[in-house]
Structure formats: C-alpha cells, structure tokens
Amino acid sequence: MAVADDWHEANTAHFRVFAEGTESDAEELAIKLERLDEAMRFMLNVPPDTVANPSARLTVLRTGDADDIAGLAGSRSSGIAGFFIPRAGESVAFVPAKEGRREAIGSVYRGRSEIPAEFVLFHEYAHYFMYQHAAASYPYWYSEGFAEVYSTLEFLPNGFILGKPPRHRDDAMQYLERKSVRLLLEPVERVRVIDVIAAYSMGWLLTHYLTFSPDREGQLSDYFSLLNQGFDSMAAAEKAFGDIKELDKDLDSYLRGRARGVTVTFDDYTKPSVDVRKLSEGEAARMSLYMRLKAGVDPKAAASLVDSARELATQYPSSAPVQLTATESFFDAQMYEEATAAAKRIIELEPDNLRARIFLARILLTKALEDSSQFEAARIPISEANRLQPNQPEALYLFYLSYRLSGQEVPEIALIALERANELAPFDENIRKSLAHLLLLEGRDKAALAVLNPLINDVERGKDAEILREKYTAIEEGNPASAIAYLAPSLPWLPPEKSDAED
C-alpha cells in the first residue's frame, strides 16, 4: 500500500487527479487532461464553461501498473489497462502509474504488446466528452473510432497535433486491409465480438478518413442526418458516402498512404492552471480502500472491507475524507446504521459536505422501501445537497425517485429535476432510462425513443441493449406497455427485485 508521501491531488477546472508518485506526476497528468479537454472543445466547437460545476469534474486515479488496474476492474489477468465508470456527479477513471505488460487484442506498440496508459485514458475521456456535450445515437464504429482519433493526441508547446495513427493497432490494421467497410455497417444486433474489435481499428480508419479527407468533406454530417431521419446504417452510408466498393478502395489507399491530420497552434498560449497538494497521512492511508470502492463492489465484497474501514475511521476520527470512505464502505455493505453514524460525523467535521448528504438520502430511500414515511425524510438531505450544489445531478435524480417510488403524484418540480439531471449527466444510464420511462407515461413516445437511442446502439451493453432494442421496436409499433414496465425506475444501488417499492 502507498504511504502518505506517495500520493498527491491535482485539481483543474474539469479534473481531480489522485496520483501515486511525485507532485510533478500529478501536475503533469492534470495539465495533459485539461489540454485534451481544450483541444476537444476547439475541434468540436464546444464553448468554454461559463459557470464551474464541481459535480461535472472527472476524478482520475493513477496508481500501480496495468496488472493493478486490471485487478481493480475485476481480474488481474483480464488485460484491462485502464477503465472509466460514468456516474452522475462522481464519474471516475483508473489509469496505471507505470506501463504494464498486458496485451490488448490485435494491438502492438513499440515492439511490446501493450497500449500506453495515456492512450487508454484519452480514449475513455473522449467517450465521456462526447456524451457530456453531444449525446446522440452514434453507430458503435464511430463512437470507438472517434475515441481512437483523440487517444493519440500529441501536445505541442503552443498547441496540438490530432490524428496520428494508433500504432498499437497495427496488427489489426493489416488484418483489416482485407475487410470491407460493410463490416461496420451491419445492424447493431448482428455485431459479433470480432466486429467490436474491428470498431477500434477500422472504426478509427473510417472516422479519420471522413473527418480529415477533403474529398469526403461533409459526408459524415450527412450520414448522421440520414440516421436521424430513420435510415438504417447501410442505407444512410450508401446515400451519404456513395458506392461502398469505391469507399473500400479509397480506404485501402488512405491506409497505405500517409494519414492526414491537423496541427493547431495558438498565439501566446498559456497552459491550464492546476493546484497540487500532498495528501494528508489519513487521506493517503485511505486510498487503497477508496479505489476499491470507486471501482465498484457488491455487498459481499464490501462486507470484507468494513474492518479496514472501521480501523481507518478510528485511527483518523478528524479526517472527513477518511470518514467519507468509511461511510461508503458501510453503505456498500448494507450496514446502514454505521453508514448513517459516519455520515453524520462528516457533517460535524464539514457542515457543507455534499457527499455525506447524498449517502444519508440513499440510506433513507432504501429504508423507505419498507417504511414509506422515510421518503419524506429523505428529501431533507436531498434538499440540503441541492442548496449546496444546485447542479448536482444525483441529488436531482434522488429527488425525483423520492416521489416516483413512493407511489405519490410526482410534482412538476420533481419532473423538472429529472430532466435537469439528464442534461447534467447524459451518460448516466439510470437517469436516461428513468427519463424515457417518464416520457412514455406522458405519451411522448417519439421523445422517449430519442432518449433511448444512445443506449440501444452500445454494443458493449450486451443483454440489456438487446432487450432495449426489442422494447424500442415495440414503442415504434405503438405498444409501449412492456417498455414502461422494463424501464420503471428503481434504486440504482440495489438489485432490481429489491428496489421497486411499487411491486
């Protein structure tokens, strides 16, 4: 386990980085991420934030090597070199401090079978940025291709280079020279594992070509427009790109040639500002447990961690961050009385602590499934959290759930809260599904379909995406009843069968 001297926290406008290593390690990573955000805003015409929203910041955890990160993801032998978990108000990404030795499918880099950790982090942030600022129903090949394009962003002293080839995909690129772009245009329900792998490599190639080739200018926008008009992927491609065989030939030539890209420089460029501090002894001592919890644990795994949480809470009784980690540990283990006591201690230490109130609200909503009077009680910490941060999406969502799950009539202010939560956290699937459910209840089927679109095209969602596509089709055919039942909100931290007060 890392000791206090090993950990630093670096804060910028859009990132909170906890890094194992030196102060400069934390500062460098935070600046790179902020510059990535700047580059994406410039390229995609996304204006700078006018008002800071702390809940929208991404927490990045940099520790260990690729094996350690894979272990946090569930298995040290999985080959996962980094991962990202989108959550309303507390999205988190994990990246190794040291390069690992894990092999990604069809990848090779600098003579070794690995993907640089920075590429993984940039790839995942590109997904987050796309959802945050331009959530839509993107084909899976474009979603992955877009993220791959930004994964290799290279910084200049006064700008950046976008569009360098992902050399860790060279093996897959050579294999795909014999494949047609039709592989990417199959309906999402027919996508196989090999097609998902192709989305990273061939998706990069097609996205890169349509983005940077002057011969294809405007065709990508036309393609998306046709998809939104109801054309299937193949028909939209044939209409926007022309003959697919010719596109295959052009892509082969493009792959064999020198990949285009763009170099952007700025006059009088100033690097983003960053505040760095060394973690206190207590904060550093909690990091191992903190990372386990943020990676996600089920109640059984959480129960194995509570002794460590109790020990930390006893050793550092005056550390609000330690008490918060203890609260989360008790909550995940469904030890609600201990979680409540720890959350109240946090508020004694830090009267304006928002996360403590979120946990109190979650606990009371859980109890409300057995005692309906607790729904009203839960609205007290929810309202307090909202006053502290009006744009905290989880607080807004919990406010909506406190009415929807109670069986009471949902007031207009709660409906507005749900819509606002989705605006603030469009990547959160629970909020998105709840909004679709509400729209179906209101008879706004077309609006519900638009909300569901990003979920049904996500090939990594597996069975849930398959079921959603079935419900989507039923809605289109005028039969929304089964979709309403499937999308009915529940408490996200409980198994579905235990979290619906109306059943």
pLDDT tens, residue by residue, 200-223: 788 888 999 999 999 999 999 999
What is the value of pTM for the model shown? 0.89
Architecture per CATH, 1-116: 3-Layer(aba) Sandwich (3.40)
Give the residue carrying structure tokens 């849930």.
Answer: 464
pLDDT of residue 102: 44
What is the pLDDT at residue 104?
A: 45
**484 contacts: CB under 8 Å, gap ≥ 6:** 437, 440, 441
**What are the tens digits of pLDDT across the range 47-99?**
988 777 888 899 999 998 888 888 998 887 777 778 889 899 999 999 888 76
What pLDDT score was predicted for residue 172?
54
Q: Mean pLDDT for the chain? A: 88
Task: Decide if 287 contacts 97 (C-beta within 8 A).
Answer: no
Return the higher-pLDDT residue of 356 and 196.
356
- Mean pLDDT across 484-492: 97
Strand 15-20 vs strand 58-62: parallel, antiparallel, or unpaired?
Answer: parallel
The pLDDT value recorded for residue 2 is 42
pLDDT tens per residue across span 272-323: 999 999 999 999 999 999 999 999 999 999 999 999 999 999 999 999 999 9
pLDDT at 188: 67
> Which of 111-115, 162-166, 431-435, 467-471 ranks highest by mean pLDDT?
431-435
- Reported for 436-439, long-range contacts at CB under 8 A and 24+ positions apart, including other chains, are 436/483, 436/487, 437/484, 437/487, 437/488, 437/489
At 267 the three-state DSSP class reads: coil
- Domain residue spans in the chain? 1-116, 136-266
Contact 148, 172 (CB under 8 A): no
Residue 503: pLDDT band with limits 50, 70, 90: very low
